[in-house]
Amino acid sequence: MKAAVFHGPRDIRFEDVPRPVLNEGEALMRIRACGICGSDLHTYREGLFLQLGLPLEQGRILGHEFSGEIVEVCGEMPDVQVGGRYTTVSVGGNAEFLRITPQIASRMIPIPDHLSFEEAATTEPLATSLHAVELADPKDDQVVVVMGAGIIGLGVLQCIRARSSARVIVVDLSERRLQLARELGAHLTINASEEDAVARLKALHGDSAISLLDTAESGIDTVFDCAGATARFQGTTVLEQAISLVRQNGKVVVVAVFERKIELDVNAVVRKGVQLLGSWAWTPADFVQSMALISSGKIDRKPLITHRFALEEASQAYETQMQANEAVKVVLTP
């Protein structure tokens, strides 16, 4: 079969690899859509998170945001049907076929007829966003800032809008992404490449500077860090900005991953009583709920899919996903 194989940073090749051989109780999925994830980009750019790839004798097959149809079942497999369309959680989606073990089969979610394979492939990143929003549990009268409008940040915006009437402000460097944020219901967007986002937010919502005598309160209840820091990033991280922006005892939810260690004024966290929450991936229930949100139309993922590439163009697809100004979600269609 054909696959896009990762051999090292910036080196993805379209190659022939052995087609999976099924054991009793396994199925074969024909992959129809596979999104490129932020974590795939960390692998592509820096060789990080290699465990998110399916190891081959030479190289790895990346891709864990996929959907497809079952084309073969070997023996008994109660959870899947030949011809059925599913999304699930595994690795190795940048290929024509994937072996579905019983463990993976137990997490298969059927795709309703009215949803495309592409939309279904965005269920996994939406579950990541949903998990972060559930941790923050925003209330109707609260103010929430989302820093970073990639697929995770935009998904956070969508989940907040689907479950509350909290005011949502989205900050990013890309006008295209901010435009999308407005279309998806952001109340305000701030382009941090054009103005000092922290100063603007403090002007709008108050500054909760750390001082025993200072009674000025920031009105920002929760800040989501959906940006993180790349290996090469220099300057004030979004996380530091988030901690300086949030109100006393407010929440900072970190959904992004960091390619390196960062410096942090921990005293700011302590003295403000910031509830600093890490949010990693999702629970199986988040995954099911994400599909329900897409399926019911409460959340529309179609506008987030900005580019499509055939599997043989995988290298170009990864380069495109790196263009944060242009791309939100690049999908491979094997």
Name the 3-class secondary structure at 185.
Answer: coil
> Nearest approach, Cβ of 282 to Zn ion (angstroms)?
10
Stretch that binds Zn ion, among 37-45, 113-121, 133-141, 176-184 (CB under 5 A): 37-45
Residue with token string 């999925």: 29
Residue whose CB is less far from Zn ion, 93 or 250: 93
Residue whose CB is less far from Zn ion, 37 or 80: 37
CA atoms within 13 A on the CB side of 282: 23
> Nearest approach, Cβ of 151 to Zn ion (angstroms)?
9
Q: How many residues bind Zn ion (CB under 5 A)?
A: 1
> Nearest approach, Cβ of 198 to Zn ion (angstroms)?
28
By CB under 5 A, residue 255 contacts Zn ion: no
Stretch that binds Zn ion, among 29-37, 71-79, 201-209, 226-234 (CB under 5 A): 29-37
Nearest-CB residue to Zn ion?
37
Residue whose CB is less far from Zn ion, 37 or 77: 37
Stretch that binds Zn ion, among 31-39, 55-63, 209-217, 261-269 (CB under 5 A): 31-39
Residue whose CB is less far from Zn ion, 38 or 138: 38
d(CA 95, CA 20): 11
Q: Which residues have CB under 8 Å from 32's CB, separation 6+?
A: 66, 67, 68, 69, 85, 117, 333, 334
Q: In Å, how far are 203, 219, 221, 243, 326 from 211, measured between CA atoms?
A: 18, 17, 19, 15, 42
> Nearest approach, Cβ of 69 to Zn ion (angstroms)?
21
Residue whose CB is less far from Zn ion, 22 or 52: 52
Q: Please give the torsion angle defined by the CA atoms of residues 296, 81, 305 and 103, in that order, rounded to the nearest 10 degrees.
A: 100
Instruction: Indicate which single residue of 17, 29, 36, 37 sits in contact with Zn ion (rule: CB under 5 A).
Output: 37
Name the 3-class secondary structure at 126.
Answer: helix
Residue whose CB is less far from Zn ion, 37 or 149: 37
> Nearest approach, Cβ of 334 to Zn ion (angstroms)?
17
Stretch that binds Zn ion, among 1-9, 36-44, 168-176, 262-270 (CB under 5 A): 36-44
**Other C-beta atoms lying within 10 Å of the C-beta of residue 204:** 14
Residue whose CB is less far from Zn ion, 28 or 152: 152
Stretch that binds Zn ion, among 35-43, 77-85, 235-243, 293-301 (CB under 5 A): 35-43
Please say whether the beta carbons of 195 and 205 come within 8 A.
no
Of the chain, the end-to-end C-alpha distance in Å amounts to 11
> Nearest approach, Cβ of 125 to Zn ion (angstroms)?
5
Stretch that binds Zn ion, among 18-26, 34-42, 222-230, 260-268 (CB under 5 A): 34-42
Residue 147 phi/psi, 5-degree rounding, is -100, 115
Q: In Å, how far are 33, 138, 321 from 334, measured between CA atoms?
A: 6, 38, 17
Residue with token string 């949010």: 279
Nearest to 295 by CA among 49, 68, 75, 113: 113
Residue whose CB is less far from Zn ion, 37 or 109: 37
d(CA 96, CA 40): 18
Residue whose CB is less far from Zn ion, 125 or 138: 125
Site of interaction with Zn ion (CB under 5 A): 37
